[in-house]
Structure 1
Amino acid sequence: MLISTLVSFIYQDGVTFRLLMSGLSVLVIGAIFMLSSLDHKKEMNKREGYIVVSFGWIIMALSGTLPYLLSGTIPSFTNAFFETMSGYTTTGASILNNIEAVPHGVLFWRSLTHWIGGMGIIVLAIAILPLLGIGGMELFAAEAPGPSADKLHPRITDTAKRLWLIYFSFTAIETFLLSVAGMPFFDAINHSMATLSTGGFSTKNASLAFYNGQPVIQYIVILFMFLAGMNFVLSYFAFKGRIQKILRDEEFKLYFWFVAVFTVVAALTIYLFADPTRSTVAHPMVWGEAESAFRHGLFQVVAIVTTTGFVSADYTMWTPFLVVFFFGLMFLGGSSGSTSGGVKVVRHLLMIKNGFLEFKRTLHPSAIVPVRYNKRAISGDIVFNILAFFILYMLSFIVGSLGFSMLGLDFQSSIGAAASSLGNVGPALGDFGPVNNFSAMPVIGKWWCSFLMLIGRLELFTVLILFTPFFWRNR
């Protein structure tokens, strides 16, 4: 918030003092709580870990509303909380109708919530969730933290520092490239933070469709969306020159082929069947050109697979096939250990492998046929965890859709809002499609969206376990 105050001062946008008050308020409150807990034990068990992670994110979202409320940008507390939760969970759904009228300092804070939340989820996935026994990090190589407590603390610290360095480096590189490509520096740094966090908040009302006349900008964003959807541990290997380790990783290979195949399908559909008269973006596309169809198909596939949520066009106006196609991609997600939301590629990979092995087990019931990942046998516990996650994810989607339908939303809007919120995608379908926002969502619906964003971002178990009666029992 203090950094956003500095940005506000530089641009003289009229909200500098209010942003300063926001920063000082949370600084004082945080200091009081920190000083009051100095004498308490620093160790915590699994139960306390779940509570700290869940309520920590809620408190961050509550405190993050201050810049919006005090600046008057978003006077409604519900809307401010929705925007903040959407930022921290890197969902990118917004209630702002005129983004370009928002003061620079507040826009910067809005993008910073993405950037903080994006790396926050990485550190959570690699450093904290293994402590709680969830997250699937057992699948990674020896560089990932192990399960024993005596080795975790130094490894967590070391891992977090490396990841932050990679994250910052990618952000700085993208900012530089976008600036060179012609994007104003302020827009470049905001879009870079939104890209690397796979968030999707833009400084333009039309999102990246504003730059349809500058293809190089969109290609740069596509590249960094793809990198952000990769496992950041693999990015670390790349920086160390261990390219073979990346090329041999099964999740990365499937992630790459998913993007490649889905892009071909989308691009061909756009080129052959999309109706140019139904385009509603600010800068109409040149539909007759193969490059344009390829670029927009690639852009939307990567944006939705990685759950970034940027839009280069209103994909709901292309063809009915692509509407259903992109809706299905909302359930895919990027790689584990990335800033992406969704189910994650590695879970799909292991479910597919286990599904095929069930045929073999049916024919040979006495045979022991383990699921293998990167040439290592995966324990049955991990497979069961993944299956349980997927079932719980789909149940959450169904309950989420029912919740929206009870508020009077139509079928398409209900399932779109549920899939988008739970997968941290951003743009949805129906009334909340890529050229609309969530401002028309009923008040209760916005709180329901915020809840779905949170449980989707924290891998379901972390939050939902708090609602089980046995969690609160002493034994």
Structure 2
Amino acid sequence: MNYAMIFRILGWMLVFEAGFMAPSAIVAAIYREASVIWLLVSMGIVTAAGLLLGAVSRPCHHRIYAREGAVICALIWFLYSIFGALPFKLSGHIPDMFDAVFETASGFTTTGASILSDVEALPHWLLFWRSFTHWVGGMGILVFVMAIIPLASGGSAMYLMKAESPGPSVKKMVPKASQTAGLLYKMYIFLTVLQLLFLVLGRMPLFDALCITFGTAGTGGFSVLNSGCATYTIFQQVVITVFMILFGTNFSVFYLIMMGRIREVPKVSEAMTYYGIIGAAVALMTINIRGSYTSIGLAIKDAAFQVGSIITTTGFSTTDFNIWPAFSKWILILLMFVGACAGSTGGGIKVSRIQVVFKAIMKELDSVIHPNDVRKIRYDGKVLDHAVLRGINVFITAYFVVFGLSVLLVSVDNFGLETNFSAVAATLNNIGPGLGGVGPASNFSGYGAFSTCVLIFDMIAGRLEILPVLILLSPHTWAEGSVLRGKHVRRSREAENDLMMSGSLEMELG
């Protein structure tokens, strides 16, 4: 384990976090908010911590491998959540540190779950910081920094990128990982600016437009109004709906369009399935809720907004869907688990995994009916090997183990099953609002410190696709040529690479 390089990268990343806080100081200056002093104090503390970590590390070499990549990735998300909570804590707007970390983790992981009942009471600079964490965390903290500077030489950077990727498919679009990161952020920034222009042209206030755009781009869901997005105009809500769906699309689709290979877009089956699911869900929910609306157009608008918000794991709301019929609510619950596309800023299990699971089920059914036939699972014209299927099985098993244990642990606060189930679903899938006591008209403030920590863990684990966090907690990760459970643990570089290959982080799904 290259501890020195781990500390050095963590130090660099904390210094960058202080830099991420700087735009909020500009907002405070514009609105003349004196409480920004606590932001400046926070920036000083985070910078000092980062410089200290960098100073104590003296790496003999700069190479990192899969194991270090997973550890760095998991640690930086926990550190960002803790240090990023300082402005909330020091300013006194969220006096409880656990709640402050929850709010910040929800921001960086683009979950959008909140413990605040009155967001309009926050100063502008804190509202901006709260929403800006969505934008930074949307494409990935490490991916953002790799787009600017190389964190490691050779192929090491790719291990960081794969560990932090928001989906099961991480491939280099161009030869170098840093170039791939830069290309991703060019598309990310372009879509962000485009949405901002549409909202401003639609006469949304600039501050609101910035914060809503950050939340949409990162598929986060923090709003600056207590009413969420309900008070915005129909045009503004339609713009938000369209861009939520776009940011939930696999970015390889945008790459194909950018390269002029538009004819290949329909061949990306995940994107086509994703759009099909959205269309079907909107149609079914519109029929189900039509009786509660004065016109079919308004019913379609709200159904499309909530479907787009939930499947992309954004979490915005224009209405309290907690009072919708049970049929529509359960469609939304299912969409929470499906999630967006791989290679997007959305969370959830991902459409590509769902597709492969269904293909595997059909293959098994065919093998029972025709036991002598040899059948292979194909995805976008490519045969999936056993390692990919094993990785999906590992991810889904780990996902539901974490889910089940989390529901059990948060039940100590004695809320109802609907509330606890949807709270874990909303945090593990990075959704935001759930149902029952954590619905769009409520918040997560009712949970105690222990349950809050469980939900913080779920948000980070869900954002990192479970495995990097489990690798961080595994004793095998820290074993260096020692005897573990009577067996000698050999940590060759090939074995470390296999550790990551066995999970969902290096799956090539098209």
Q: What TM-score, normalized to structure 1?
A: 0.90
**Cross-structure match for 2:505:** none
**Cross-structure match for 1:176:** 197
The CA deviation string for residues 251-272 of structure 1, in whole angstroms up to 9 with x for no partner, is: 0010010001011011111114
What letter corresponds to residue 385 of structure 1 in structure 2? G
* Residues 142, 164 of structure 2: 8 Å contact kept: no
What letter corresponds to residue 454 of structure 2 in structure 1? W
Distance 1:92 1:18 in 2: 23
Distance 1:228 1:47 in 2: 30
* Residues 110, 134 of structure 2: 8 Å contact kept: yes
What letter corresponds to residue 392 of structure 1 in structure 2? A
What letter corresponds to residue 136 of structure 1 in structure 2? P
Partner SS state of residue 435, structure 1: coil
- Structure 1: runs of 5 or more not aligned: 146-153, 275-286
In structure 2, the CA distance between the partners of 1:18 and 1:470, relative to structure 1 (3 Å rule), is closer
1:128 aligns with 2:159: yes
In structure 2, the CA distance between the partners of 1:129 and 1:378, relative to structure 1 (3 Å rule), is farther
Match of 2:270 among 233, 241, 251: 251
TM-superposed deviation, 1:132? 6.1
Identity %: 35
Match of 1:204 among 199, 208, 225: 225
Distance 2:176 2:371 in 1: 42
In structure 2, the CA distance between the partners of 1:271 and 1:121, relative to structure 1 (3 Å rule), is farther
1:414 aligns with 2:420: yes
TM-superposed deviation, 1:436? 0.6
Question: Aligned ranges for residues 55-454 of structure 1 at < 5 Å?
Answer: 55-120=75-140, 123=143, 127-128=158-159, 136-137=168-169, 144=173, 155-211=176-232, 214-272=233-291, 274=292, 287-454=293-460
TM-superposed deviation, 1:127? 4.1
What letter corresponds to residue 440 of structure 1 in structure 2? G
Q: What TM-score, normalized to structure 2?
A: 0.84
TM-superposed deviation, 1:240? 2.6
Distance 1:76 1:355 in 2: 47
* Residues 122, 337 of structure 1: 8 Å contact kept: no
Partner SS state of residue 64, structure 2: coil
Partner SS state of residue 86, structure 1: helix
Distance 1:128 1:121 in 2: 14
TM-superposed deviation, 1:364? 3.0
What letter corresponds to residue 61 of structure 1 in structure 2? S
In structure 2, the CA distance between the partners of 1:441 and 1:15, relative to structure 1 (3 Å rule), is same
Residue range with higher mean Cα deviation, 381-390 or 12-21: 12-21
The CA deviation string for residues 88-147 of structure 1, in whole angstroms up to 9 with x for no partner, is: 110000111111111011111101111111111693999436756996326x6xx547xx
* Residues 110, 138 of structure 2: 8 Å contact kept: yes
TM-superposed deviation, 1:19? 1.3
What letter corresponds to residue 164 of structure 1 in structure 2? Y
What CA RMSD, in Å, does the superposition of the two structures yield over aligned residues?
2.1
TM-superposed deviation, 1:13? 2.1
In structure 2, the CA distance between the partners of 1:215 and 1:354, relative to structure 1 (3 Å rule), is same
TM-superposed deviation, 1:430? 1.0
Residue range with higher mean Cα deviation, 333-342 or 381-390: 381-390
Distance 1:351 1:289 in 2: 39
* Residues 422, 455 of structure 1: 8 Å contact kept: yes
Partner SS state of residue 383, structure 2: strand
TM-superposed deviation, 1:29? 2.3
Distance 2:163 2:267 in 1: 29
Partner SS state of residue 137, structure 1: coil
Distance 2:81 2:96 in 1: 14
TM-superposed deviation, 1:38? 5.0
Distance 1:418 1:182 in 2: 37
In structure 2, the CA distance between the partners of 1:127 and 1:291, relative to structure 1 (3 Å rule), is farther
What letter corresponds to residue 79 of structure 2 in structure 1? I
* Residues 248, 346 of structure 2: 8 Å contact kept: yes
Partner SS state of residue 340, structure 2: coil
What letter corresponds to residue 114 of structure 1 in structure 2? H
**Cross-structure match for 2:497:** none
**Cross-structure match for 1:151:** none
Distance 1:383 1:171 in 2: 35
TM-superposed deviation, 1:174? 0.9
Partner SS state of residue 309, structure 1: coil
Distance 1:42 1:210 in 2: 52
Q: Which has the higher contact order (CA 8 A, sep 6+)?
A: 2
Distance 1:458 1:307 in 2: 14
Distance 2:114 2:378 in 1: 41
TM-superposed deviation, 1:373? 0.9
* Residues 91, 200 of structure 1: 8 Å contact kept: yes
* Residues 168, 343 of structure 2: 8 Å contact kept: no
Distance 1:402 1:133 in 2: 27
Distance 1:176 1:233 in 2: 24
Distance 1:83 1:315 in 2: 22
The CA deviation string for residues 269-307 of structure 1, in whole angstroms up to 9 with x for no partner, is: 1114x4xxxxxxxxxxxx121110000000000100000
Residue range with higher mean Cα deviation, 336-345 or 315-324: 315-324
Distance 1:265 1:433 in 2: 21
- Structure 2: runs of 5 or more not aligned: 1-20, 147-156, 481-489, 491-510
**Cross-structure match for 1:10:** 30
What letter corresponds to residue 312 of structure 2 in structure 1? T
Structure 1 stretches of 4+ with a deviation exceeding 6 A read none
* Residues 79, 95 of structure 1: 8 Å contact kept: yes
TM-superposed deviation, 1:236? 2.1
* Residues 419, 428 of structure 1: 8 Å contact kept: yes
